[in-house]
Amino acid sequence: MNSLEYRKFVVLFFIAITAGVFSVRMFYMQIIDDKWKLRAEEISKYKMTTYPTRGIVYDRSGNKLIANETYYDIMMIEDEISNFDTTLFCQLFKINKEELVEIYQNMVDKQGKDKKGKSNYRKFKPYPLITGLSSDDFSKVATELQKFPGFFENVRTLRKYPQNSGAHVLGYMNEVDGTDLEKDHYYRMGDYIGRTGIENYYEEDLRGRKGVQYLMKDARGNISGSQEESKYDTAAVPGRNLELTLDADLQTYGELLMKGKIGSVVAIEPSSGEILAFVSSPTYDPNLLIGKKIGKNFLTLQEDSLKPLFNRPLQAKYPPGSTFKLVTGLIGMQMGVVDSNRAFSCIKSLVNCHGHPTALSMSDGVKYSCNPYFYQVMSRIVQQGKSRNIFKDSKIGLAEWYEYVRSFGLGQPLNIDLAGDIPGFIPDVEYYDKVYNKAWAFSTIYSISIGQGEVGVTPIQMANLACIMANRGYYYVPHLVKSIKGKDISDRFQEKHYTKVKSEYFNPIVEGMWRVVHEPGGTARRAKTEGLNVCGKTGTAQNPHGEDHSIFIAFAPKDNPKIAIAVYVENAGFGGTWAAPIASLMIEKFLNGEVKQEAKEKRIIEKNFLTDPSIH
């Protein structure tokens, strides 16, 4: 019997080793590894996020451009649903059974899948089934909803755009996607983010900061009170309100004038760079892209052949047409190749022109918009005779010209406070070398002298050019934000950008612009408005695909200008016919607060190029 006594050691050994393994395991689980602590938090704590109200956006006179409105989501917990009356439910929400099945399936799909391909959807958790009911719609179903166990409402706020205008400035919001979640850890699934416009550019100011409340949750998922950690709770910080530079009345009026036309109207206060109106036509009601409607409406807008979602002022590239003669003239004078009293004959063999008296000065050239005049100015800019080799000579000249043009904010994005402005295009030596295999001279590229050919600009750049004219030589980066509550706006909007052309050279050009509008023989007599001293320049952008685009840039009054404007109307022919009167009406509306030229206004409003493409 005693021979087996050693076996007590085997038994004791097994007990000891078990206790040892358990101790190591507990040490690992409780002290080293965080996995189970995190799991415990996940199980027992509920991190309730409190959402801040998003910043309100006002125009320059305090009109609300973007407000918040309360909406309701119908939430559902599948496990708690009982005696579900499908027919009644469908009636209540005015959908049919197939739609209900689809809505449900979409909701489940939206939760995604885990690594093993199993759905993350959990039957015991609440999910939004029907989203974005308005207060009115919800009040109709509120009492009935209580008869459906497992369903309840969740209040949230969505954006509202009370002016129904300025869609391209204000932008829209939608739910964050995977890329957003990766880029910015602030967001959680289901959050909304500004996608375009001000909503997008000032997202971080507008959104504020979410608050967190730590609560305890029991096994059924019910909240069972706050916990010790409430000292870590943070309150939600509301988003900052924005004041925009936009003038809501002018914006709405611009959209009215542009109805039935494709194009852009951009108006800027020259003394500050503040954008007063920013019309992209055709436009859409920003309220279409809110809440549950967004998916369907976005698709409709996206499929529209007129591209209402396209932000024309920032992203449409057109030739500047004759408006570019202003730049050519200014550069010519600054470079000293011409002076303001220089006369040039209207030699139609150089480049086509219309009938007009000979331009005896720069001012005349602008007034008559004489093509051969600026052809000859440009030829002197490009071929300065600094090299005997004509090709080398033209390179020297164009390179100089290029630097001057760039100083007008052309050929590069202006970086306004909306995402997506494009650079446009100003050809340089390198470009022509590539295209013409280095064998080019002024005679090859002359069309840029009158704003045709390769030169491409955007309406916002043209409006900025109008500002430069108004300011006689400098501009501020155009911008939409006037003030941010509790924060300064970016310094870069307060910085003067001078062109490389001296202020004095602007006088003859501006004089010409005044005469364009006010003197017989001027190209934009239709822009004349009693007492407002409008100065402008017409343009007609050649369009190989159809009628030319009608262009007009202007500012007023001549001295101490308050508004500068650029108008593009696509396929509307000569700039003086449509673009000029639109600009003048805008100027009158802004400077006088009301429009007295009723006949002019009526003609514009009634014109619909989509149904009547005639350009007269």
Partner 1 sequence: MRKNETILDNIDWSLILLYFVLTILGLFNIYSASYNEEFPSLFSFSQEYGKQIIWIAVSMFLGFIVLLLESDILWKYAYWFYAVCMLLLIAVLFTREINGARSWLGFGSMGIQPSEFAKLGTAIAISAYISNMNIKLQSQSSAFYANLIVLFPMALILLQPDAGTFVVFTSFLWVFYREGISYDFILGFILRLIPFVDHTRIKIGSNFIPLLIVSGILVVSTLLLSQTTIQFFGMTLPGFWGLIISISVFLILALIVARITVMLRERKKLYYILIVAAIASSSLVFAVNSVFDYLKPHQKERIELFLGLEEDPDGKDYNRNRAMAAVGSGSFLGKGYHKATLASPQQGHVPMQSTDFIFCTLAEEWGFVGGILVLSLFVVLLFKIIQIAERQRSTFTRVFAYSIAVIIFYHLAINIGMTIGLAPVIGIPLPFFSYGGSSLMSFTMMLFVLAKLDSERKNVFR
Site residues, Zn ion (CB under 5 A): 346, 353, 370
Separation between Cα atoms, residue 262 and residue 506, nearest integer Å = 32
Region near partner 1 per CB under 8 A, out of 2-10, 63-71, 85-93, 341-349 = 2-10
- Choosing from 82, 219, 530, 593, the residue that interacts with partner 1 (CB under 8 A) is 219
Among residues 87, 112, 111, 110, which one has the least CA distance to residue 100?
87
What is the DSSP secondary structure assignment for residue 456, as one 8-state letter? Answer: B
Nearest residue to 308 (alpha-carbon basis) of 408, 510, 160, 165: 165
DSSP 119: B
Strands (E), 240-288: 242-244, 263-269, 274-281
When CB distances are held under 5 to 8 angstroms depending on the partner's kind, the choice from partner 1, Zn ion, none that residue 36 binds is partner 1
Provide, rounded to whole angstroms, the least separation between the CB of residue 119 and partner 1.
Answer: 13
Return d(Cα 170, Cα 572) in angstroms, integer. Answer: 28
1 lies in the binding site for partner 1 (CB under 8 A): yes
561: preceding bond cis by omega (within 30 degrees): no
**CA–CA gap between residue 256 and residue 1 (Å, rounded):** 111
* Residue 36 contacts partner 1 per CB under 8 A: yes
The listed partner (partner 1, Zn ion, none) that binds 599, CB under 5 to 8 Å by sort, is: none
Question: Contact, 575 vs 321, CB < 8 A?
Answer: yes
Element (H, E) at 73: strand 64-76
**Least Cβ distance, residue 120 to partner 1 (angstroms):** 11
Asked if 115 touches partner 1 (CB under 8 A), the answer is no
Residue 237's nearest CA partner among 261, 274, 205 is 205
Residue 142 within binding range of partner 1, rule CB under 8 A: no
Task: Give the phi and the psi of residue 496 in degrees, each rounded to 5.
Answer: -75, 130
Sign of CA dihedral 568, 569, 570, 572: negative
Instruction: Name which of 370 and 465 has its Cβ closer to Zn ion.
Output: 370
Token digits for 570?
């696509």
Site string for partner 1, 10-29 (x = CB under 8 A): xxx-xxx-xx-xxx-xxx-x
Return the one option of partner 1, Zn ion, none that residue 113 interacts with (CB less than 5 to 8 A, by type).
Answer: none
By CB under 8 A, the residues from 522 to 561 that bind partner 1 are: none
Any contact of residue 113 with partner 1 (CB under 8 A)?
Answer: no
Note whether 120 binds partner 1 by CB under 8 A: no
User: Judged by CB, which is closer to partner 1: 40, or 101?
Assistant: 40
Q: Taking CB under 8 A as the rule, does residue 232 contact partner 1?
A: no
Task: Check residue 79 for interaction with partner 1 (CB under 8 A).
Answer: no
For position 227 contacting partner 1 by CB under 8 A, the verdict is yes
Closest C-alpha among 512, 523, 515, 519 to residue 578 = 523
Residue in 574, 147, 521, 224 with CA at minimum distance from that of residue 368: 521
Q: Is 68 exposed, middle or buried (0-12, 13-18, 19+ CB in 10 A)?
A: middle
Closest distance of CB 553 from Zn ion, Å: 20
Q: Which does 370 bind (CB under 5 to 8 A by kind): Zn ion, partner 1, none?
A: Zn ion
Task: For residue 602, give the 3-state DSSP assignment.
Answer: helix
In the complex, the smallest distance separating the C-beta of residue 370 from Zn ion, rounded to whole angstroms, is 3
> What is the closest distance, in whole angstroms, from the C-beta atom of residue 363 to Zn ion in the complex?
14
| Smallest distance, partner 1 to C-beta of residue 212, A | 18
Nearer to partner 1, 7 or 388 (CB): 7
Question: By C-beta, is 2 or 143 nearer to partner 1?
Answer: 2
User: Shortest gap between Cβ of 185 and partner 1 (angstroms)?
Assistant: 24
Which residues lie across from 556 on neighbouring strands? Answer: 563
Nearer to partner 1, 37 or 183 (CB): 37
8 A C-beta contact, residue 129 and residue 107: yes
Q: How far is the CB of 426 from Zn ion (least distance, A)?
A: 25
Candidate residues 67, 75, 95, 216; the one interacting with partner 1 per rule CB under 8 A: 216
With CB under 8 A as the rule, give the number of residues binding partner 1: 40
C-beta closer to Zn ion: residue 330 or 370: 370
Nearer to partner 1, 215 or 256 (CB): 215
Say which entry of partner 1, Zn ion, none residue 418 contacts (CB below 5 to 8 A, set by partner kind). none
Q: Rounded to a whole number, what is the largest CA-CA distance in the chain?
A: 137
φ, ψ for residue 483, nearest 5 deg:
-155, 150
Per-residue H/E/C for 414-452: CCCCCCCCCCCECCCHHHHHHHCCCCCCHHHHHHHHHCC
The residues that touch partner 1, with contacts defined as CB under 8 A, are 1, 4-5, 7-8, 10-12, 14-16, 18-19, 21-23, 25-27, 29-31, 33, 35-37, 39-41, 43-45, 122, 216-220, 224, 227
